[in-house]
C-alpha cells in the first residue's frame, strides 16, 4: 500500500507474533499485574486452563503495533494531521492465549467520519489454530497539524 491522502475504509494490516514467557513476565513487571493466572505455573496447573495465560492488556498492547503500521501508509501523517488513539471499545477476550501461542493481529478500517476526523477499525486476534481470541474496535482521531 503506497502513501494516500486520507485513511480509507477497507485499509488493513496484519502481523504474527509468538507470545513468549518473557513477554508475559516483562509485561507483569511493567504493569504491576502479578496475578497468579499470569505468573504462577503451579497455581494455573490446578485451573481448567492447566497453564499460565497472557494478560489481556498485553494483547491490547500488541494491537497498538497494528495501528502504528496502518498510519505509516498515509501522507496525512506527515502533511495534514497527527493520528492519536482515542481508545478501544467493545474489547472482548474470547479465548485464553498461552505461552508459545502464535497470534495474528488484524486491523481493518471499517469507517472514517470526516466531520469528526475519526477512523474506526475492527481488531481481531486469532491463535495458531485460527480461533478468535480477542476482538475490539479502535477509534483514532486525526488531529489537524498546526500551520507552519
Of 85, 82, 84, 98, whose CA–CA distance to 144 is shortest? 82
CATH of domain 12-144: 3.10.129.10
- In sequence order, the 6+-apart residues with CB closer than 8 A to the CB of 25 are 39
Q: How many CA atoms lie within 13 A of 132 on its CB side?
A: 11
Q: How many CB atoms lie within 10 A of CB 78?
A: 10
Note the pLDDT tens digit of each residue in 94-139. Answer: 999 999 999 999 999 999 998 998 999 999 999 999 999 999 999 9
Of 49, 48, 57, whose CA–CA distance to 26 is shortest? 57
Note the pLDDT tens digit of each residue in 3-33. Answer: 445 677 888 999 999 999 999 999 999 999 9
Amino acid at each position: 500500500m503506497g502513501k494516500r491522502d486520507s485513511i480509507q475504509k477497507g485499509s488493513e494490516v496484519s502481523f504474527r507474533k509468538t507470545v513468549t514467557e518473557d513477554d508475559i513476565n516483562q509485561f507483569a513487571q511493567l504493569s504491576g499485574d502479578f496475578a497468579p493466572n499470569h505468573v504462577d505455573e503451579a497455581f494455573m496447573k490446578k485451573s481448567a486452563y492447566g497453564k499460565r495465560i497472557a494478560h489481556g492488556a498485553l494483547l491490547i498492547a500488541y494491537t497498538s503495533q497494528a495501528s502504528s503500521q496502518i498510519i505509516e501508509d498515509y501522507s496525512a501523517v506527515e502533511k495534514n494531521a497527527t493520528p492519536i488513539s482515542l481508545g478501544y471499545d467493545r474489547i472482548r477476550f474470547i479465548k485464553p492465549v498461552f505461552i508459545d501461542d502464535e497470534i495474528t493481529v488484524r486491523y481493518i478500517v471499517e469507517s472514517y467520519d470526516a466531520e469528526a476526523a475519526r477512523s474506526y477499525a475492527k481488531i481481531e486476534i486469532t491463535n495458531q489454530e485460527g480461533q478468535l481470541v480477542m476482538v475490539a474496535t479502535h477509534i483514532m482521531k486525526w488531529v489537524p497539524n498546526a500551520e507552519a
